[in-house]
Structure 1
Amino acid sequence: MGAVIDSNVFIYAAVEDSEYHRSAMDLIHSLDRWIVPTIVVYETVWNFRKLGFSNEDARELIEQILFDPRTSLVDDRQYLLEGFNLLQSLSLAHYVDSVILAIAKDVGALATYDKKLRNRARKLNIKLLPEVVE
C-alpha cells in the first residue's frame, strides 16, 4: 500500500524519544510506496533545523528518504492551485496542508499525525494512516 506521507511522520520516525516514534517507524516500514510531495521535504528540513539537527544529520536523513526505493517524489505543481480550492474559509496558514490534501485526494491515502489535517482529510474521504491517533 502507498500513501502520501506528511512531514510529521518522518520527524517522529527520526526522533527516538518522540511520542509517536514507534508508531511512525512501524507505519513507514509497512508502506510499500512513500508518496512524498516536494513541500514535505522542505517542511522536514525546517523541522530538523528547529529540533537542532546538524546539517550533516539532516542531509543523511533526507538522503534516506529521497533514495529509498519506496519513495515517489511528487512534482506538486499541478496541485498548487487546487490547494487554494481546498482552503475554503481557512487562512493561508493552512495552504501547505491544503496542497498535501490535494495530492492525497488523488492518491487516496494520507499518513499523518496532525489532528487538524486528519479531520480535513476525513471530510474528503481520504484513508488515514495510522487509522487511529491517540
Structure 2
Amino acid sequence: MGAVIDSNVFIYAAIENSEYHKSAMNVIRSLDGWIVPTIVIYETVWNFRKLGFGTEEARELVEQILFDPRTSLVDDRRYLLGGFELLKELGLRHYIDSVILAIGKEAGALATYDKKLRNQATRLGIKLIPEVLE
C-alpha cells in the first residue's frame, strides 16, 4: 500500500528518542509506496534545522528519502489552489497541511502524527496511517 507521507513521519523516524520513533519506523517499513509532496521535503529540512541537525546529516536523510525506490516525489503545483478549498474555516497558517490533504485525498491514504491534520483527513474520508495514535 502507498500513502502520502507527512514530514513528521520522517522526523520521528530520524530521531531515535522521539515518542513516535518506533511507530514511524514501522509506518515507513510497511508502505510499498511513499508519496512525497515536494513541500514535505522543504518542511522536513526546515524541522531538521530547528532540531539542530547539521547540513550533511540533513542532506543524507533527504537523499535516503529521495532515492528510496518506494518514493514518488509529487510535483505539488497541481494542488496549490486546491489547498485553499480545503482551508475553509482554518487560517493561512494551515495552508501547507491543506495542500498535503489535497494530495492525500487523491491518493486515499495519509501517514501523519499531526492530530489536527488527522482530524481533517478523517472528515474527508482519507485512510490514516497509523490508524490509531498510541
The alignment-based identity, stated in percent, is 78
CA distance in 2, matches of 1:80, 1:133: 28
1:89, CA displacement in angstroms?
1.3
Equivalent in the alignment of 1:63: 63
For residue 10 of structure 1, what is the amino acid of its counterpart?
A: F
For residue 128 of structure 1, what is the amino acid of its counterpart?
A: L
Runs of 4+ in 1 over 2 A off after TM superposition: none
* SS of equivalent to 1:34: strand
CA distance in 2, matches of 1:26, 1:130: 9
| Structure 1 unmatched ranges of 5 or more | none
CA distance in 2, matches of 1:58, 1:68: 15
CA distance in 2, matches of 1:25, 1:100: 20
TM-score normalised over the length of structure 1: 0.99
Equivalent in the alignment of 2:132: 132
CA distance in 2, matches of 1:90, 1:113: 19
The number of equivalent residue pairs is: 134
1:131, CA displacement in angstroms?
0.3
Question: Cα deviations across residues 31-77 of structure 1 (Å, max 9, x unaligned)?
Answer: 00000000000000000000000000000000000000000000000
CA distance in 1, matches of 2:24, 2:90: 28
CA distance in 1, matches of 2:92, 2:52: 27
Equivalent in the alignment of 2:115: 115
| Structure 2 unmatched ranges of 5 or more | none
CA distance in 1, matches of 2:37, 2:110: 11
CA distance in 2, matches of 1:27, 1:89: 31
Equivalent in the alignment of 2:43: 43
Equivalent in the alignment of 1:103: 103
**How do 1:74-89 residues align onto structure 2 when only pairs under 5 Å count?**
74-89=74-89
For residue 91 of structure 1, what is the amino acid of its counterpart?
A: G
CA distance in 2, matches of 1:113, 1:90: 19
For residue 126 of structure 1, what is the amino acid of its counterpart?
A: I
CA distance in 2, matches of 1:12, 1:86: 26
CA distance in 1, matches of 2:84, 2:116: 17
For residue 71 of structure 2, what is the amino acid of its counterpart?
A: T
Question: Cα deviations across residues 2-53 of structure 1 (Å, max 9, x unaligned)?
Answer: 0000000000000000000000001000000000000000000000000000
